[in-house]
Amino acid sequence: MEPADSPASTHDALLGLRGSITARVGLIAFALILPFSVYHVTSGRYSLAAVDLLAAVLFGGNAWSLMARGRPLVPYIVLATSILAAVVASVHFIGAPPLYWAFPASMYFYMVLPRRQAHLFCLLLVAGSALIGYFQFGGPTSLRFVGSAGLMLVLLNVVLGVIGELQQQLVTQSVTDPLTGAFNRRDLQAALQRLTSAKAPRRAVLLLFDIDHFKAVNDRHGHAVGDQVLRDVVALAQSCVRGTDRLFRVGGEEFVLVLDGITVDAAMHVAEELRQRIEQAPLLDDQPVTVSLGVSPLVAGFDPDRWLHSADSAMYEAKREGRNCVRVAL
């Protein structure tokens, strides 16, 4: 399971850091590129000086805008395009030395662009520079450049892949219960806040359930067996719901299902199916395991706490009426 809207869920490990990276690199790039523009003017290469000056201005302007206003002055793809043009033009006008700029440029593409766009820009950069270089200074140098650039891109993608995997692990650990794999209470608050604060009315239902007499299970069979019962109940709950529904562990043996885009009648059907599956499953050798369930639809004016309290009240009504049943909030 993966929390919605998380950076890792987009498979872009640097998504949340893009603005900070662009601002810092922009200042450095402005300071490094501007002198080259001046040098090209003194050398009579006015077209190349104009390209470098444009790149420096874009870098510096974006860095200022990100630090002052929190948003870029121009889209990142425009910056990437200016860098691509500057490097390829430099190879055309100067020869082999500007090839060195292709390496930091490629890294920059991966820092500020989505992965697929970065692939495309690096391909254009390497292919364009190598093709021009082939006619400028011969095949051997171009081939060495392509080989070294290709190896760098492979290594860069390996590093970004590892960063993405580590980031996903951290995100998963921060929002999931380590015992059962269900989402935890911290992530539940975020999910409920998104639903209750939506401008348009949402059709959603909370299904809160608690394992009946769970303390007796632990006392009689031991905590290892109790932990396995919790994992089995989570597996059964996940088998009853849609892929868009989310299951949270909010207490020792208490769970919440968030059912988005569903009617109360449909949610009651889900709750009853879950109740029956758990009761009929051979989770313990000597007794059935049962749950009590409370169902609460989202009502206009509910905040997360009030919505949870409504579902909790319905669940305790099920407890008072003998357990192993479903009750809906009135």
Residue 236 to residue 228: CA distance in whole angstroms? 12
Residue 83 to residue 109: CA distance in whole angstroms? 9
What does 179-219 look like in DSSP terms, one character per residue? TT--B-HHHHHHHHHHHHT-SS---EEEEEEEETTHHHHHH
Spatial strand order in the sheet of 326-328? 246-249, 254-260, 204-211, 291-297, 326-328
Residue 272 to residue 254: CA distance in whole angstroms? 17
Residue 74 to residue 51: CA distance in whole angstroms? 16
Confirm if 55 and 2 have CB atoms less than 8 A apart.
no
Residue 234 to residue 222: CA distance in whole angstroms? 19
Residue 305 to residue 256: CA distance in whole angstroms? 13
Confirm if 284 and 217 have CB atoms less than 8 A apart.
yes
What kind and span of H or E run contains 328? strand 326-328
Reading the block at residue 146, the tokens are 């392509």
The dihedral region occupied by 322, where left means phi > 0, alpha psi between -120 and 50, and beta the remainder, is: left
The yes-or-no answer on residue 279 being catalytic is: no
Confirm if 177 and 183 have CB atoms less than 8 A apart.
yes
Catalytic residue among 2, 165, 253, 272: 253
What does 254-274 look like in DSSP terms, one character per residue? EEEEEEES--HHHHHHHHHHH
Residue 190 to residue 207: CA distance in whole angstroms? 17
Task: Please give the torsion angle defined by the CA atoms of residues 267, 271, 273 and 279, in that order, rounded to the nearest 10 degrees.
Answer: 180
Active site residues: 253
